């Protein structure tokens, strides 16, 4: 790896030299012995069953229809910002350090997560079937299950609050007996990375790079923990991080209140997803980048990437096993998960879907190799040309 004259910068044309990350079931550890980020969502469909379903996942739709993407756009100015955690808040093994300068060109991004109504337009236009529908199950938080007991497949050892539920998908977020009637403005969930990419191909969009996502979430507040400042509840004059808003002040994000994972006091009003415009937007006009649902990014994830990342428009490692997820979800709680922050990173396999996973999109990048190759997904979830 060659460096330029500034010893802190890596030559942007050089590919990162990163070792493999082993993500086998019961062995979610990177090469440095660090635990992979697995507390927020079950890692891969193999956590629920050993064999893939019969048949292959359908190929992605190839006809772009940009006019069908109707989500309000937020304009993100060109900027250089400090990417990563500067407060010592990082989770060991997540790869939030070293903090480094990143320069991005201006871009536009969805002001909200893609909603059920948005995704329904895509499905109605293409007949697309999500991976949850094709596999026949998805991961549901145990208190959100509506399905009969015979549909419940069991729990992964690392995340026992999750259950594989037969029949759970974006239309049936709790399994059989659930529906999305009246939830059109909620974020679509049970969406795999491959599903999100399929939507992007159809809509003429891209998934945000991890750097784009973090810059947009920060809302111009360089170095802050949250889009609104450093305190999780906006109490900026507090001597230490606070656990709830001051009396009479509103909640700023949809996360867990109470004793996780058995008792949610619903202080913010929601057990699972909230409408995408429930809490105040950040200074760029983005709603709920923190909490509510995890959002897929374009990049492969690796814990060592920040050590070799280029300074200008980084796109992530060239290859990997898991894709980046950002923002935290309605299940985040300070007793076990500190990932509802601007700099926090998580990841999952591209075929994984769960009841707290969604996405938002950015304007299509002309050099977006992920889309230009018109990839399809096979039954193992691997992205193929």
pLDDT score of 248: 76
Alpha carbons 221 and 243: distance in angstroms, whole number: 22
Strand partners, 239: none
User: Residue 15, exposed/middle/buried by CB under 10 A (0-12, 13-18, 19+)?
Assistant: exposed
Alpha carbons 171 and 336: distance in angstroms, whole number: 29
Encode pLDDT of 161-173 as tens digits.
Answer: 999 999 999 999 9
Alpha carbons 8 and 12: distance in angstroms, whole number: 12
Strand partners, 100: 83
Encode pLDDT of 271-326 as tens digits.
Answer: 999 999 999 999 999 999 999 999 999 999 999 999 999 999 999 999 999 999 99
Q: Residue 196 above 50 pLDDT?
A: yes
Q: Residue 143 above 50 pLDDT?
A: yes
Q: What is the pTM of this model?
A: 0.84
pLDDT score of 45: 73
Please calculate the CA angle 4-10-13 and round it to the nearest 5 degrees: 90
Q: Does residue 266 come out as left (phi exceeding 0), alpha (psi in the -120 to 50 range) or beta? A: left
Domain 69-238+250-365 of CATH type 3.20.20.70: no
Q: Taking a C-beta distance cutoff of 8 angstroms, is the pair 23, 302 a contact?
A: no
- In the structure encoding, which two tokens stand for residue 129, read together? 């079937």
pLDDT score of 362: 98
pLDDT score of 31: 41
253 contact partners, CB below 8 Å, separation of at least 6? 226, 232, 268, 279, 288, 290, 291, 292, 328, 340
**More confidently predicted of 30 and 233:** 233
The DSSP result for 147-175, as a single string, is S-GGGB----TT-TTEEEEET-BTTBTTS
Q: Taking a C-beta distance cutoff of 8 angstroms, is the pair 220, 283 a contact?
A: yes
HSE-up (13 A, CA, CB side) for residue 121: 16
Taken in order 234, 240, 241, 242, the sign of the CA dihedral is negative
Q: Taking a C-beta distance cutoff of 8 angstroms, is the pair 300, 93 a contact?
A: no
Mean pLDDT within 352-378 = 76
pLDDT above 90 covers what percent of the chain? 64
């Amino acid at each position: 790896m060659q460096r330029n004259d500034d010893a802190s910068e890596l030559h942007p044309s050089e590919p990162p030299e990163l070792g493999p990350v082993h993500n086998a079931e019961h062995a979610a550890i990177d090469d440095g012995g660090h635990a992979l980020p697995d507390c927020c969502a079950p890692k891969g469909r193999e956590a629920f069953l050993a064999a893939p379903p019969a048949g292959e996942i359908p190929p992605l739709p190839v006809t772009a229809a940009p006019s069908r993407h109707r989500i309000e756009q937020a304009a993100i100015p060109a900027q250089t910002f400090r990417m990563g955690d500067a407060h010592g808040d990082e989770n060991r093994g997540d790869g939030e350090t070293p903090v480094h300068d990143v320069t991005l060109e201006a871009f536009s991004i969805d002001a909200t997560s893609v909603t059920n109504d948005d995704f329904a337009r895509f499905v109605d236009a293409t007949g697309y079937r999500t991976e949850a529908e094709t596999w026949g199950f998805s991961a549901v938080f145990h208190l959100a299950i509506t399905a009969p007991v015979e549909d419940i497949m069991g729990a992964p050892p690392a995340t026992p609050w999750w259950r594989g539920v037969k029949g759970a998908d974006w239309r049936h977020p709790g399994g059989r007996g659930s529906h999305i009637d009246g939830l059109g403005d909620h974020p679509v969930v049970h969406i795999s990375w491959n599903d999100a990419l399929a939507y992007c191909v159809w809509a003429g969009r891209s998934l945000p790079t991890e750097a784009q996502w973090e810059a947009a979430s920060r809302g111009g507040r360089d170095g802050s923990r949250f889009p609104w400042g450093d305190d999780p509840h906006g109490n900026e004059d507090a001597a230490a991080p606070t656990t709830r808003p001051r009396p009479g002040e509103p909640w700023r994000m949809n996360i867990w209140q109470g004793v996780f994972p058995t008792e949610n006091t619903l202080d913010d009003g929601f057990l699972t997803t909230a409408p995408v415009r429930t809490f105040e937007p950040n200074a760029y006009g983005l709603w709920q980048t923190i909490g509510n649902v995890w959002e897929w990014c374009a990049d492969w994830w690796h814990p060592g990437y920040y050590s070799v990342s280029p300074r200008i428009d980084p796109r992530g490692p060239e290859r990997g096993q898991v894709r980046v997820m950002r923002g935290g979800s309605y299940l985040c709680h300070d007793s076990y998960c500190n990932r509802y922050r601007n700099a926090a990173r998580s990841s999952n396999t591209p075929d994984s879907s769960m009841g707290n996973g969604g996405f938002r999109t950015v304007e299509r990048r002309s050099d977006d190799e992920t889309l230009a190759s018109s990839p399809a997904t096979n039954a193992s979830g691997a992205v193929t040309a």
